[in-house]
C-alpha cells in the first residue's frame, strides 16, 4: 500500500530528474559549439618579421601557431613541429600549386615566395595563401617599417651567409691543398710499388739496347775502315784509280740502297 501510494510521486520525480538531466546534457557542449566556431583553415601572417603559421590541430580541434625562421628553418621543420605538437598527426606534406610535393629541404623563405600552396594533414588538405611583403607593406606605417627592416635583414643575412661561405673556403684552402697533396702522395707511392718490377725490366731492356747500339756502331766503324783499306790497296797496289773508281761508286750506291731497304722494313731511321 505504501509503495502504491508513493509510486506516482516517485515516477514524477524521476521524470523531473530526467528532464533536468537532459537539459543539462543539451546545454553542456558549449565547448563543442566553440570548437565548431574555430575556422578550419591555415593562415600565415608576419610578426616581428617572422612568418607565423596558424594551423588547426586534428586531435584537439584547436588552432596552434608555429613561428618559423625563413632562412634557417625548412619545410621539414614545420612538419616535425606539427607532428610533435599533436600526436594524432600521422602524415604531413606540402604541395605546390601544380600538385607537386615540396621537399623537406626547401627553405621557408622559398616556400613563402610561392605565395600559394597546399598543406596536407592526414587526409585533410588546406589551401594556404601566404601574404607577400608588398601587400603587408601597405597595411600600416609601422608594419611597413617592420617589413622593410625584415627584408633588409633577410638580404643582409643572405650576403652574410655568402661571405661566410667564401671566407670559409679561403681559410680552408690550405688545409684542402694539404689533404689533396697527402692523398696524391699516397697514390703515387702505391703506383710506384706497382711499377717497380716493370721499371726494373725497362732498365734491363734499355741497357741491352744501349749495348747493342754500341756494338753496332763499332761494327759499322770497323767495317768502313776495312772497306777503306781494301779499296786503297786496290787503287795503289793491284789496280789503278781508273779501275777502282767504278767499284767505289757501286759500293756507295749499294750502301744507299741498304739504308732505304732498312727504312722500308722497319719504318724508322737506321740511326
Cβ atoms of 88 and 126 within 8 Å: the answer is no
Q: Which residues contact 88 (CB under 8 A, 6 or more apart)?
A: 57, 58, 59, 122
Q: Is 72 inside any structural domain?
A: yes
Cβ atoms of 68 and 108 within 8 Å: the answer is yes
Cβ-based burial of 11 (10 A; exposed 0-12, middle 13-18, buried ≥19)? exposed
CATH number for the domain spanning 116: value is 3.10.20
Q: Is 52 inside any structural domain?
A: yes
Report the sign of the C-alpha dihedral through residues 10, 12, 14, 17, in that order.
negative
Show the DSSP H helices in 122-172 as ranges.
Answer: 133-137, 141-171
Q: Is 151 inside any structural domain?
A: no
Quick one: average pLDDT of 37-50?
74
* Cell representation of residue 229: 783499306
Instruction: Classify each residue of 53-86 as buried b or exposed e, where b means 16 or more C-beta atoms within 10 Å of its C-beta.
Output: bebbbbeeeeeeebebebeebbbebbbebbeeeb
pLDDT value for 34: 44
% the chain with pLDDT above 70 = 71
Cβ atoms of 141 and 126 within 8 Å: the answer is no
* 209: Cα within 13 Å, side-chain hemisphere: 7
Report the sign of the C-alpha dihedral through residues 118, 121, 123, 126, in that order.
negative
Question: Poorest-confidence range of 51-65, 186-200, 209-223?
Answer: 51-65
Quick one: average pLDDT of 124-143?
63
What digits encode the pLDDT tens for the residues 147-182?
555 556 656 666 777 777 777 666 666 777 788 888
Return the higher-pLDDT residue of 53 and 138: 53
pLDDT value for 222: 93
Q: Is 124 inside any structural domain?
A: yes
CA distance 168 to 263: 63
Q: Is 58 inside any structural domain?
A: yes
Show the DSSP H helices in the chain as ranges.
Answer: 2-27, 30-37, 75-85, 108-113, 133-137, 141-171, 173-233, 241-266
Q: Is 248 inside any structural domain?
A: no
Q: Residue 44 sits in which domain range?
A: 37-131
CA distance 75 to 93: 9
Cβ atoms of 129 and 44 within 8 Å: the answer is yes
Q: Is 9 inside any structural domain?
A: no
Tally of domains within the chain:
1
Quick one: average pLDDT of 182-193?
89
Q: Is 76 inside any structural domain?
A: yes
| pTM for the whole structure | 0.39
pLDDT value for 149: 58
Q: How confident is the model at residue 271 (pLDDT cuts 50, 70, 90)?
A: low
Which among 164, 170, 142 is positioned nearest to 71, based on CA atoms?
164
CA distance 154 to 160: 10
Amino acid at each position: 500500500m505504501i509503495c502504491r501510494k508513493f509510486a506516482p510521486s516517485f515516477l514524477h520525480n524521476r521524470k523531473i530528474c530526467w528532464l533536468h538531466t537532459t537539459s543539462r546534457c543539451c546545454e553542456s557542449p558549449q565547448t563543442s559549439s566553440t570548437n565548431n566556431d574555430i575556422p578550419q583553415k591555415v593562415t600565415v601572417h608576419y610578426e616581428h618579421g617572422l612568418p607565423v603559421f596558424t594551423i588547426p590541430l586534428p586531435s584537439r580541434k584547436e588552432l596552434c601557431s608555429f613561428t618559423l625562421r625563413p632562412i634557417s628553418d625548412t619545410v621539414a621543420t614545420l612538419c616535425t613541429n606539427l607532428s610533435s605538437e599533436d600526436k594524432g598527426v600521422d602524415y604531413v606534406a606540402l604541395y605546390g600549386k601544380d600538385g607537386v610535393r615540396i621537399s623537406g629541404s626547401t627553405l621557408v623563405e622559398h616556400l613563402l615566395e610561392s605565395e600559394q600552396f597546399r598543406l596536407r594533414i592526414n587526409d585533410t588538405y588546406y589551401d594556404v595563401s601566404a601574404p607577400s611583403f608588398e601587400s603587408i607593406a601597405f597595411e600600416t606605417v609601422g608594419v611597413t617599417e617592420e617589413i622593410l627592416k625584415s627584408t633588409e635583414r633577410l638580404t643582409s643575412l643572405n650576403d652574410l651567409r655568402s661571405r661566410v661561405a667564401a671566407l670559409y673556403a679561403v681559410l680552408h684552402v690550405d688545409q684542402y691543398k694539404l689533404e689533396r697533396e697527402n692523398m696524391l702522395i699516397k697514390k703515387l707511392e702505391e703506383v710506384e710499388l706497382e711499377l717497380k718490377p716493370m721499371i726494373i725490366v725497362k732498365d734491363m731492356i734499355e741497357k741491352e739496347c744501349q749495348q747493342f747500339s754500341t756494338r753496332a756502331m763499332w761494327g759499322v766503324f770497323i767495317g768502313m775502315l776495312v772497306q777503306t783499306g781494301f779499296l786503297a790497296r786496290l787503287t795503289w797496289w793491284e789496280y789503278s784509280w781508273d779501275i777502282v773508281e767504278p767499284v767505289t761508286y757501286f759500293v756507295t750506291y749499294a750502301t744507299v740502297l741498304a739504308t732505304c731497304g732498312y727504312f722500308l722494313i722497319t719504318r724508322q731511321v737506321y740511326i
